[in-house]
Structure 1
């Protein structure tokens, strides 16, 4: 599905630079990865200033 989507690059959480994005604590970023929000039927929205990577896809 990732290939079909045509993303310019595949990003992983392991490659995310937490030192660069200091306003995005690692613990907060890792919580949605557990997918518990799916069972609770909740949405996840990443908000923040430009350049923090919230629009990138992480697998």
Structure 2
């Protein structure tokens, strides 16, 4: 189990879009606020709610 796995415990990546709470955001990364989506994409937004970029979320083998 990597440290990144623990961060997934903060949000759901399988049940739609979830905002990462501010107090957990620095555990995820130090970049823009992000949304995890059920399709394993991470959408990064700026402070004004504009989509900055979309990346593939890291995946882990069970």
Q: TM-score range by the shorter chain?
A: under 0.3
Q: Give the strand-richer structure, 1 or 2.
A: 2
Higher helix fraction: Structure 1 or Structure 2?
A: 1
> Which of 1 and 2 has greater Rg?
1
Q: TM-score if structure 2 supplies the norm length?
A: 0.26
Query: Which structure exhibits the higher relative contact order, with contacts defined as CA atoms closer than 8 Å and separated by 6 or more residues?
Result: 1
TM-score by length of 1: 0.26
